[in-house]
Chains A and B, each alone.
Chain A
């Protein structure tokens, strides 16, 4: 902006941004603070805004009462595996859509885009029945399969945008040098594409990590539960035990926090890319 801002205006800006920061951070802080309080402090008045007797008893509690380490492991396995599958499949599809002119390419894009606006929940029950016919109900590979499919369209749309920013002269040169199409893609283009690939991977990881309803439908066994499924059953099991609930919430958010802290730039880039190129 060209005009210089006056001092009161600067102060107003800082004030508004500070208030917004507090509004965003406070609920998260409150969950953390609750998780570190002993039971009796959580449920007694007056409310302590700063935990006085810090304890990890809520964390010990959820590991003792539930198989939380198993849930964490399951969530990690499913989220990582599905994100990897999505990355491979949608790298191929988006590369072709970005680079080759062929009849029907517009329709293929529409085919992927349409999945983003149709309410997928209509397909939920039939999908469940289909999965059970394939004996993929109550199994982690079944979840990996479904999560992959859920993320393929958006990842394809998003990656296509990234590919279009890489000059095609790169792989043309490589192909002249005798590389095949696939090896030109792998050796020359992918290294340049790292930010886009990272964004895609993180997006699908976070989506898988967070997914609730399908996992609730598909997973029954205690040893196969992912974190959201387990927490869903906590609501009934622990009901008013907000100490355990908040500890579980904090634990389940940690991977997302780490990813977000490390890769915020890629994520923002990927998100805006995906939606603009729709």
Chain B
């Protein structure tokens, strides 16, 4: 940052201002360009190359072969289907619970600060740790969830939540919902607290019922926050392999793989960077398409100010 020379500034600013702007932005822009954008573009190119960690001397372009290989892999198709399921179900449940909690936390009560501190805390933990914790809770023999369900009388014998393919996806989604409610609650609570009281007072005169008030006043008012939060969340959940990686690592038999865990698996254990990049590119295309439709739809609703 040597071009940031304070003695340069003079009463007439133009030149010094330019230097100050350029010098202040340069470190951030250069670093992000070199270590985020460049690798990203390189990754896109890699998707069309034969690029495996074990044979780095033999890197060459192979057209769409990586994509073909990926689409021929049954595991990929399962991961693709799971990704939609994982995103949609997690998102809906996180949103509904998060919104509910935010509504309940809106009015102050004794100890609200402490309460918030406790229920928002999972947000600050890593997905990996959350995954480990739930892996233990869902343990098939001596897991506490099995024990509780048996005590309540819902089941008679322990369920192998994480090693039975028909339970795996449900289990990881439960953990993900537990993790993500805090984020929605924080964001939506902040938005709710920004709704001016006068709007309600006007509605009160009209005798609006509480539920109507929620649907007709509150939700439209905080719609921009809802739209932004949901969009960010879709992207985030889609790109979030940590929790599944720790809980099941995609197993049993690939039944809990989503695209991002499938991709990490290819990088960390397969060493096939080309195919991993192909999967990443497919994810990117899906997300871009989603964003286009999402914001086109929300513009139509005239609610988005993104």
Stretch at the interface among B61-69, B70-78, B127-135, B163-171: B127-135
CA distance A135 to B235 in the complex (A): 33
- Does A246 sit within 8 A of B, measured CB to CB? yes
Q: A30-B136, A275-B187 are known contacts. Are A118 and B118 too (CB-CB below 8 A)?
A: no
B 262-292 contacts with A by CB, 8 A: 263-264, 267-268, 273, 276-277, 280-281, 283-284, 287, 291
Stretch at the interface among B4-12, B84-92, B296-304: B4-12
Is B190 a contact partner of A268 (Cβ separation < 8 A)?
A: yes
Interface size in chain A (residues, C-beta < 8 A): 92
Is A252 a contact partner of B129 (Cβ separation < 8 A)?
A: yes
Is B43 a contact partner of A125 (Cβ separation < 8 A)?
A: yes
Find chain A residues with CB under 8 A from B242 CB: 212-213
- Does B119 sit within 8 A of A, measured CB to CB? yes
- Does B196 sit within 8 A of A, measured CB to CB? no
CA distance A93 to B113 in the complex (A): 33
Stretch at the interface among A16-24, A50-58, A62-70, A193-201: A16-24
Q: Of the candidates B25, B132, B273, which one forms a contact with A96 in the assembled complex, judged by CB atoms under 8 Å apart? A: B25
Is A125 a contact partner of B273 (Cβ separation < 8 A)?
A: yes
CA distance A182 to B121 in the complex (A): 37
Find chain A residues with CB under 8 A from B284 CB: 118-119, 122
Find chain A residues with CB under 8 A from B23 CB: 92
Find chain A residues with CB under 8 A from B35 CB: 127, 130, 145-146, 149
Is A180 a contact partner of B7 (Cβ separation < 8 A)?
A: yes
A252, chain B: closest CB distance, angstroms = 7
Is B119 a contact partner of A47 (Cβ separation < 8 A)?
A: no
CA distance A173 to B238 in the complex (A): 48
- Sample of 11 further A-B pairs with CB below 8 A, known A47-B144, A235-B132, A259-B124: A31-B133, A89-B27, A90-B28, A120-B239, A130-B38, A180-B8, A212-B242, A231-B129, A242-B139, A260-B117, A264-B113
B 29-49 contacts with A by CB, 8 A: 29, 31-32, 35-40, 42-44, 46
Is A125 a contact partner of B46 (Cβ separation < 8 A)?
A: yes
- Does B96 sit within 8 A of A, measured CB to CB? no
Interface of B is mostly: helix
CA distance A104 to B182 in the complex (A): 36
Is A21 a contact partner of B119 (Cβ separation < 8 A)?
A: yes
Q: Of the candidates A3, A210, A245, A259, which one forms a contact with B136 in the assembled complex, judged by CB atoms under 8 Å apart? A: A245
B 88-124 contacts with A by CB, 8 A: 97, 100-101, 104-107, 113, 115-122, 124
- Does A233 sit within 8 A of B, measured CB to CB? no
- Does A167 sit within 8 A of B, measured CB to CB? no
A257, chain B: closest CB distance, angstroms = 7
Find chain B residues with CB under 8 A from A30 CB: 133, 136-137, 144
Is B46 a contact partner of A24 (Cβ separation < 8 A)?
A: no
- Does B126 sit within 8 A of A, measured CB to CB? yes
Find chain A residues with CB under 8 A from B221 CB: none
B 124-182 contacts with A by CB, 8 A: 124-129, 132-134, 136-137, 139, 142, 144, 147, 178, 182
Q: Of the candidates A2, A27, A130, which one forms a contact with B137 in the assembled complex, judged by CB atoms under 8 Å apart? A: A27
Interface string of A150-177 (1 = CB under 8 A from B): 1011001000000000000000000100
CA distance A219 to B142 in the complex (A): 34
Find chain A residues with CB under 8 A from B18 CB: 102
Is B36 a contact partner of A231 (Cβ separation < 8 A)?
A: no
Is A119 a contact partner of B239 (Cβ separation < 8 A)?
A: yes
Q: Of the candidates B31, B134, B245, which one forms a contact with A148 in the assembled complex, judged by CB atoms under 8 Å apart? A: B31
Is A115 a contact partner of B32 (Cβ separation < 8 A)?
A: yes
6 closest cross-chain pairs (CB), A and B: A123-B39, A210-B126, A122-B280, A180-B6, A126-B42, A122-B43
Is A27 a contact partner of B134 (Cβ separation < 8 A)?
A: yes
